[in-house]
Amino acid sequence: RLLKRSVFFSVQDEAVDKSNFKNCNHILLLYLFVYSQVPLLVEIYAIEGNIFRLKINEVSPLKSRYEVPDVLIKEPTTQRLSIAQKEAGILVLTCASEDRKLHITANPFQIELESKGETVLSVNTNGLLYFEHLQPPPQNRCITRSNGWKLKLDTFRQENQEDLGLWQEEFGSFLDIKANGPSSIGLDFSLHGCEHVYGIPEHAETLLLKNTSDDDAYRLFNLDVYGHKIHDKMGIYGSVPFLLAHKPNRTSGIFWLNSSETLVEINTKAVMEHVPSRSPPDITKQRVVPQTDVRWMSESGIIDVFLLMGPNPFDIFKQYAQLTGTQALPPLFSLGYHQCRWNYEDEQDVKTVDAGFDEHDIPYDVIWLDIEHTEGKRYFTWDKKKFQHPKRMQELLTRKKRKLVVIIDPHIKVDPMYTLYSQAKKKGYFVKNRTGQDFEGICWPGSSSYLDFTNPDVREWYADQFAFKSYKGSTDILFVWNDMNEPSVFKAAELTMQRDAVHHGNWEHREVHNLYGFYQQMATAEGLIKRSGGQKRPFVLTRSFFAGSQKYGAVWTGDNVAEWSYLKISIPMLLTISIAGISFCGADVGGFIGDPEPELLVRWYQAGAYQPFFRGHANIESKRREPWLFGDENTRIIREAIRERYTLLPYLYSLFYRAHTTAEPVMRPLWVEFPKEQETFGVEDEYMLGNALLVHPVIEQEATTVNVLLPGSDEVRIPVFQRGGGVVPLKTTVGRSTEWMTDISYELRVALDSKDFAVGELYLDDGHSFQYLHKKQFLHRKFTFHKNVFSSSCADEIGQYHTKCVVERVLILGVQKQPTSVTVSLHDGKDKEVVFTYDAKSSMLTLEKLLLNVGADWEIHIK
């Protein structure tokens, strides 16, 4: 049912008449007429920040088609579009800056986006635009829905057997009825000069997206897939319909704003390009260049796509964040190590595991409880036998300066005696089935109904459930894990909710499916903020996610397996999620399913210590695997890895501040930092942590060496692969958790580049509140090494925060000769000598016992 033939448009003269169209100086309105004579309205916007938006919808649909709400942080600010050329079948538009143009042709309908004379991207190049319009039910049939329609399927089967699949589909014993027939949409795009494309998480696949011409398309459809397959393009837990394309001189992006099931086809090929020649002037040459065609297809909704023009990777990240928001700044404790399994059995088990970390001198911040901690899988409750005194258990953790995370899933046990169920039932807060009754499915508690988080009233009510008076036994150190929120429905087609279930506003589930987990995490985060009177940052981990989920917390890669291949694939999976805007991501250390051999577990801890979200987790059927259960030597190595994580927290926290304020991914592919070096474009076994550290985990069994690509032609590098030209702030020692480390002094590790220059930064606040935002209580310091002077200066004068912390030690790597003296100058004008040592073999200068206030300006002079 694809409309592959040409599509015609007529440019309406009124489109530039301010009396007829709102914001018409910022928008171009076109009408497309397909062969079925169903007119489509095309809206083209130029958006500030080098973005274009294209919307296509029916002019007069039978009823409104779904347009995704709440993902965009605001309505984008548009720029003026001017008509530079208008003639039969051709329209050329320019933006305010006039270095960007849109070439629109009528027959066939195509749009080309040009920047500074270069065609960057084109729309409908292959003529694959299609738009299935909504239709009334056929004769002799009506549909049973909450609005009173009824369905006579028997007659319809007899008279219209051939077309039956257009109006209903069977999945085993499950029936999906399409009230207004099929409503899918699709459009193709060509990325000129590009053969490297990335993004569209979540798949257990390579970093570089593969051609799909001889294989399945990439599927974006959130599903509970236990032990998901590797190198499979089927949808798993999350969906972000955002794709990036990169070539040495440009990065561009496509953000397809649609929350229904979506397929993405990719075809990279070589095409001939005409190159003008100067002599003789009327002859053109041809050259072969790459081109990637990307085709998007969604089950329903409208075409609403943002075209991000870059031109560099960090411009793309900012443009996407301008639309969907930046990563929420996490509380500092959540960057520490998390210990989880399904399930810690009771309060004594929690106490024993907590004590084990102290006994073995391993820092950790959070212990987690899975579904077994509840009373019969009733969320917001405690098992009365196993967890009789939850507040007392949390008080123990509070004294240790640690936190608790509990699981809260979206399904609610059908039980009239369960307060949460009875309240939601009375208020009509559950998703409905097609007959207007509460949808019921099977999940952990047995028969369950599902809260309709698409309803803002439900989200507000749900947020109130986290209040201490409502959530009995909870305290302010309790945080939340949203699982099973794809949503997962046992004994259902693909283990998820029926597509013709009905949500708030009479929208079918097919329209909102990929948004369901996004909305639960939103409501949960809001609940934790409200619980604190708006004072404290939440921590919420979600399994299901969508574009914009970064605003509400963290994600992880779901039910992985304790095998080497899953450790290996976790790196490209996390890189893909990171460049799609969600910096706070991780994979279960050790693998959720099965029992890792000690070597694998050790290697996974070493890898996880350098990834944004760091959690050890195990299935209920897995053997216990606390870090000290694998022998003294393995315990020592794991301890070392976790302690290294805690040493690195100042750098990691500063990276999250950058992600929060400037949308820079915490974990990023090499090509992001080295966009012109083509050998980096496909690298997925190593990555940059910020701009200063290159990480190459060991991901092969029995490996004793690894081959590491060190991009950058003349930059000095040293173990642990610190990039020349960077400054990394560290803690000099570690504590039992992050809160024990507040006043521990800093070490600054300076790696000089080939020009004896380095720069870095440190961000610091109280680690848990919103005071950094509301009252500007933070410190943002800049460190610079230039011409043998290492200085500390204020990076943001707005921030003010008092700290006792000092810089105790500075290591400068790449110093070519031993200094004769080192002095420090303070703001009071007084100089003092600095104790130093110099290692000629490693070219390392170590400055000790500095005791420099981290919030003050100072200079260290090396002579």
Q: What is the pLDDT of residues 812-844, one digit of tens each?
A: 999 999 999 999 998 777 899 999 999 999 999
Q: Side-chain half-sphere of 282: how many Cα atoms within 13 Å?
A: 0
Determine the Cα–Cα distance for residues 548 and 582; give it in Å rounded to an integer. 8
Question: In terms of Cα–Cα distance, which of 650, 547, 638, 640 is closest to 598?
Answer: 638
Instruction: Please report the pLDDT score of residue 272 as a whole number.
Output: 87
Distances (CA, A) of 577 to 441, 555, 560, 717: 30, 9, 16, 28
pLDDT, residue 828, reads 73
Q: Are strands 779-786 and 789-794 parallel, antiparallel or unpaired?
A: antiparallel
- Same topology between domain 8-132+184-324 and domain 713-862: yes
Which tokens in the block code for residue 707?
């081959």
Kindly give the residue spans of alpha helices, DSSP state H, lying in 294-418.
Answer: 313-324, 347-359, 390-399
Pairwise CA distance, residues 772 & 763, whole Å = 11
Res. 137: pLDDT tops 50:
yes
Task: List, for residues 293-321, the tens digit of each pLDDT value.
Answer: 999 999 999 999 999 999 999 999 999 99
Which two structure tokens, joined as six digits, stand for 432?
């409905």
Which residue would you say has higher pLDDT here, 276 or 412?
A: 412
Distance CA 835, CA 327 (A): 41
Burial class (CB in 10 A: 0-12, 13-18, 19+), 1: exposed
Q: How far is CA 345 from the centre of its chain?
A: 32
User: pLDDT (tens digit, 9 = 90+) per residue, 385-434?
Assistant: 999 999 999 999 999 999 999 999 999 999 999 999 999 999 999 999 99
Say whether the peptide bond before residue 487 is cis (omega within 30 degrees of 0): yes
pLDDT score at 163: 61
Determine the average pLDDT of the residues in 95-110.
Answer: 88
pLDDT for the residue 169: 86
Q: For residue 16, what pLDDT is reported?
A: 32
Q: What is the pLDDT of residue 277?
A: 62
For the chain, give the number of residues: 863
Query: Is it true that the peptide bond before 311 is cis, omega within 30 degrees of 0?
Result: yes
**pLDDT at site 394:** 98
In terms of pLDDT, which residue wins out, 758 or 117?
758
CA dihedral over 699, 242, 657, 516, signed as positive or negative: negative
> Does the 8-132+184-324 domain belong in CATH 1.10.540.10?
no
Looking at residue 29, what is its pLDDT? 72
Q: Which of 764, 682, 753 is nearest to 724 (CA)?
A: 753
Q: Please answer whether residues 318 and 580 qualify as being in contact, where contact means their C-beta atoms are separated by less than 8 angstroms.
A: no
11, pLDDT greater than 50 = no
Question: Distance (Å, rounded) from C-alpha 430 to C-alpha 762?
Answer: 46
Residue 106 has what pLDDT? 86
Structure token pair of residue 277: 């020649």
Architecture in CATH for domain 338-656:
Alpha-Beta Barrel (3.20)
Hunting for tokens 């955002």 — which residue is that? Answer: 242
**pLDDT exceeds cutoff 90 at 236:** yes
CA distance 110 to 129: 10
Q: What is the DSSP pairing of strand 746-751 with strand 726-731?
A: antiparallel
Q: Which of 740, 752, 836, 854 is nearest to 358 (CA)?
A: 740
pLDDT digits (tens, 9 = 90+) for 653-678: 999 999 999 999 999 999 999 999 99
**Tell me, what amino acid is at 550?**
Q
The pLDDT of residue 770: 98
- As a whole number of angstroms, the distance between CA 563 and CA 596 comes to 7
- Mean pLDDT for all residues in the chain: 91
pLDDT at 12: 38
- CATH number for the domain formed by residue range(s) 713-862: 2.60.40.1180
Rg over CA atoms, the chain: 29
Spatial distance between the Cα atoms of 357 and 589, rounded to a whole number of angstroms: 17
pLDDT band at 644 (very low <50, low <70, confident <90, very high): very high
CB 473, CB 390: distance < 8 Å: yes
Task: State yes or no: pLDDT of 502 exceeds 60.
Answer: yes
Residues marked active site are found at 483, 486, 559
pTM: 0.94
Rounded CA gap, 795 and 783, in Å? 9
Arithmetic mean of pLDDT, 160-175:
74
Cβ neighbours of residue 74 under 8 Å, at least 6 residues apart?
Answer: none
Q: Which of 2-6, 302-306, 463-467, 712-716 has the lowest mean pLDDT?
A: 2-6
Instruction: Supply angle C-alpha 72, 78, 79, rounded to 5.
Output: 155
End-to-end CA separation in angstroms for the chain? 76
Cβ pair 486, 546 in contact under 8 A: no
Upper half-sphere CA count for residue 576 (Cβ side, 13 Å): 29
Domain ranges of the chain: 8-132+184-324, 135-182, 338-656, 713-862
